[in-house]
Amino acid sequence: MKESSRGRVYLVGAGPGDPELLTLRAARLLREAHTVVHDRLIHPGVLEHARPHARLIYVGKEGGGESVRQEDINTLLIAQARLGRIVVRLKGGDPFVFGRGAEEALALEAARIPYEVVPGLSAGIAAPSAAGIPVTHRDVSGEVTFATGFRVNGTPDWPFLARAQTLVMFMAGQRLEETTAALVSAGRAASTPAALVEAGTWEHQRVVEGTLADVAAKARDAGLGSPSLLVVGEVVALRARLHTLTTRRDSSAGDVLPRFAEAGND
């Protein structure tokens, strides 16, 4: 098959959730795409940008639930492109930040399918910001570490993570007690401020603040679910002083959308 007869795949970051945080380029590509292959954590408002009659294919993953195998997603992208279609692979946040975008890019490379990566606003920055937590402050934290407690092979380097000035842990909901205990065991003070941000930037965003010693219990008592981010560090304490952000309400929000089960591997 000649290169010119093939379609093209765009690995597109949809941002953290709020449709207004979608990039202009992402919105344009959605209007042009013949096929949109999307994850579970995509706001319905984002999909409204898709062109009429575009084929929307759901390939979400849910921890402990039914999931589409990554190998099957790769095969789907390649097959759709070989039909000559413009394909948008729509992923929450940024494709290359805990989004398996690199795995898909490598598969497209191996199949010699033309593709591009369209960055999106990562939830690791956006969710804390929407919750009133600045991940950096020159008097408190000059560095940020992004990590996940989920590993295909091995375990996280807890001593390294425990030393981070600001630590943002993705996919923290189901492993919160294990994560906070591991950080304390690795040397982080149990009194370190910590917060769990559920559904950052969505209409039903919720935040629980505490310390490494008690944030897991507080989140459990409040019934926080997923998707959730854990933020650890002195920057969390600044939230109490940012009253405008912490009392933010989206006047355009409609009904509260259903909460999701923990993804764990999206």
Which active-site residues does the annotation give? 39, 61
**CB-based contact 133:238 (threshold 8 Å):** yes
Closest CA to 220 of 176, 189, 178: 176
Separation between Cα atoms, residue 161 and residue 182, nearest integer Å: 10
| Tokens matching residue 182 | 């591991």
Q: What are phi and psi of 86, to 5 degrees?
A: -85, 120
Q: Would you tell me how many other CB atoms lie within 10 Å of the CB of residue 227? A: 28
Separation between Cα atoms, residue 65 and residue 171, nearest integer Å: 15
**CB-based contact 146:168 (threshold 8 Å):** yes
Q: Say how many Å lie between the first and final Cα of the chain, rounded.
A: 32
β-bridge partners, 207:
197
Q: Would you tell me how many other CB atoms lie within 10 Å of the CB of residue 165? A: 17
| Tokens matching residue 119 | 């960055």
